[in-house]
């Protein structure tokens, strides 16, 4: 198997795990989202510490805490990603898996818009059209349902903000998330202790705790696979394959959860898919143009 094929296998596996995560969180729906999130933080940190120990990267992990300014940025990233994790868990547990998938469909378009406002990055004509289609979908849902698709917007905005912060961090994705979970650990432990002393903890059986320990796998494993793939694949390939994640979420919402798909969604989702298609075409064109440039111009 070539390096490229290994990369494809890794990114497909990562997106499959992310896409199926809704089934996992639905399986623990009797436990509140904040309690689930707290466990996810704790067990993910345990996973990363074990991983860094095996990779002999613990000194690198500890060194990340020695620069206050950088640590402040990582703290902001931790807040953004925890908001995203909480929003997704809440959406799954409250019958909004379809809207959650919409959030991850439009996230790249939101990221492009954020790049424009934060870094002055220019829109290509295709990107402009794609963003307009996504805005059209949001407008359709708002007019048809009487309220904006807040869950989708929160998920897209929180993950877009997370990506924006990470763009300025000189840390790899796996190491960065390890530090982020470490910064979130006091909050996670504090919440569980507070709930425990008040007698409000739900996940107290060995079965529930063991199940929640598996949440580390939905955080750490796909991230390691994604990091592996990113070193072997073109950016365009990564961008295209990542749409497996919201597509699997959407299919599961329709088939497994049986969520309603009314006229509003029937109008909005084709607009989103059209926008995604244009974004992917633009991504592919940019990647092809970059490959044609001489090394000195890259």
Q: Is the pLDDT of residue 192 over 60?
A: yes
SS3 of residue 220 by DSSP: helix
**What is the spatial distance between Cα 18 and Cα 12, in angstroms, rounded to a whole number?**
10
Using pLDDT thresholds of 50, 70 and 90, give the confidence band for residue 297: very low
Burial of 68 (0-12, 13-18, 19+ CB in 10 A): exposed
The DSSP string of 255-266 is HTS-----HHHH
pLDDT > 70? residue 292: no
pLDDT range class, residue 282, cuts 50, 70, 90: confident
Q: Which residues contact 92 (CB under 8 A, 6 or more apart)?
A: 22, 25, 26, 29, 100
Question: Which residues are within 8 A (CB) of 101 and not within 5 positions of it... i.e. 6 or more apart?
Answer: 246, 247, 249, 250, 253
**Residue 184 to residue 3: CA distance in whole angstroms:** 35
- pLDDT band, residue 298 (cuts 50/70/90): very low
pLDDT, greater one: 56 or 279: 56
Spatial CA neighbour of 271 closest among 150, 137, 130, 98: 137
Which residues fall within 8 angstroms of residue 175, CB to CB, at 6 or more apart? 52, 57, 60, 61, 64
Q: What is the pLDDT of residues 215-271, one digit of tens each?
A: 999 999 998 998 888 778 776 677 778 899 999 999 999 999 999 899 999 999 999
The predicted pLDDT at position 36 comes to 97
pLDDT band at 291 (very low <50, low <70, confident <90, very high): low
């Amino acid at each position: 198997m070539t390096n490229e094929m290994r990369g494809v296998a890794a990114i497909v596996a990562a997106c499959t795990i992310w896409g199926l995560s809704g089934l996992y969180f639905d399986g623990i729906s009797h436990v509140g989202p904040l309690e689930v999130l707290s466990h996810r933080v704790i067990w993910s940190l345990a996973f990363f510490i074990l991983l860094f120990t095996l990779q002999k990267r613990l000194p690198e992990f500890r060194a990340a805490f020695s620069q206050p300014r950088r640590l402040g940025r990582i703290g902001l990233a931790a807040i953004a990603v925890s908001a995203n994790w909480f929003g997704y868990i809440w959406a799954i547990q409250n019958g909004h898996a379809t809207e959650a998938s919409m959030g991850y469909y439009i996230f790249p378009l939101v990221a492009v818009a954020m790049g424009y406002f934060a870094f002055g990055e220019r829109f290509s004509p295709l990107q402009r059209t794609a963003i307009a289609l996504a805005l059209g979908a949001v407008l359709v849902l708002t007019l048809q349902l009487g309220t904006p698709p807040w869950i989708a917007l929160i998920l897209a905005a929180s993950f877009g903000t997370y990506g924006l912060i990470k763009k300025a961090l000189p840390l790899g994705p796996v190491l960065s998330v390890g530090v982020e979970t470490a910064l979130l650990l006091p909050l996670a432990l504090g919440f569980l202790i507070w709930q425990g002393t008040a007698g409000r903890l739900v996940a107290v059986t060995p079965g529930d705790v063991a199940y929640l320990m598996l949440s580390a796998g939905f955080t750490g494993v796909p991230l390691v696979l994604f990091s592996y793939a990113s070193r072997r694949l073109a950016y365009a390939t990564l961008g295209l394959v990542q749409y497996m994640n919201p597509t699997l979420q959407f299919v599961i919402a329709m088939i497994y959860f049986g969520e309603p798909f009314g006229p509003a969604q029937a109008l909005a989702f084709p607009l989103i898919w059209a926008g995604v298609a244009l974004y992917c075409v633009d991504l592919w064109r940019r990647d092809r143009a970059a490959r044609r440039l001489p090394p000195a111009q890259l």
